[in-house]
């Protein structure tokens, strides 16, 4: 079964926002990775403490996720600071969903194996919606 989770993007205050959301919604952080945690990171020292990825589990199967923008990315505007995160049940399903969503759109990160253990990619569909597609072998 596919699950869809909101993914919020911030210009440097992601952890502050997620600490607030945790107070409001409860739940636990199941991921809290900073840019400095990335193996071989070439991010500037000024963003070492920024959030690369954070997940707040709200209930079984439902998460609120987010990150700060990297220096190599444009700052987000209020209208493009949310993405929909799709978690698939197989690599083939990830490929099929990614291919379908990317038709007429723009791939911002091709599907690939990542250091955190997921098969993952990002795109903006032809309607301007930001999507994150992921499959984790361990699921």
Query: 93 and 71 in one domain?
Result: no
88-132 pLDDT, tens per residue? 889 999 999 999 989 899 999 999 999 999 999 999 988 777 989
Query: 86 is written with which tokens?
Result: 């799709």
Contact 5, 85 (CB under 8 A): yes
Report the domain count for the chain: 2
Query: 60 and 13 in one domain?
Result: yes
pLDDT at 78: 67
11 inside domain: yes
Residue 121 belongs to domain spanning: 88-139
pTM above the 0.85 mark?
no
Confidence grade of residue 54 (pLDDT, cut at 50, 70, 90): very high
DSSP code of 133? E
* CATH number of the domain where residue 117 is located: 3.30.720.110
* CATH number of the domain where residue 14 is located: 3.30.720.100
Contact 33, 54 (CB under 8 A): yes
Q: Is 92 helix (H, G, I), strand (E, B) or coil?
A: helix
Query: 102 and 45 in one domain?
Result: no
């Amino acid at each position: 079964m596919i699950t869809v989770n909101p993914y919020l993007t911030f210009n440097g205050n992601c952890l502050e926002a997620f600490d607030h959301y945790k107070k409001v919604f409860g739940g636990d952080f199941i991921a809290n990775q900073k840019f400095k945690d990335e193996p071989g990171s070439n991010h500037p020292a000024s963003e070492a403490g920024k959030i690369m990825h954070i997940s707040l589990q709200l209930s079984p199967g439902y998460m609120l996720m987010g990150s700060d923008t990297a220096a190599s990315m444009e700052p987000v505007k209020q209208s493009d600071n949310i993405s929909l995160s799709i978690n698939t049940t197989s690599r083939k399903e990830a490929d099929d969903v990614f291919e379908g969503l990317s038709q007429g759109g723009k791939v911002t990160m091709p599907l690939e194996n990542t250091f955190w253990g997921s098969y993952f990619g990002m795109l903006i569909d032809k309607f301007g919606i930001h999507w994150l597609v992921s499959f984790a072998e361990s699921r």
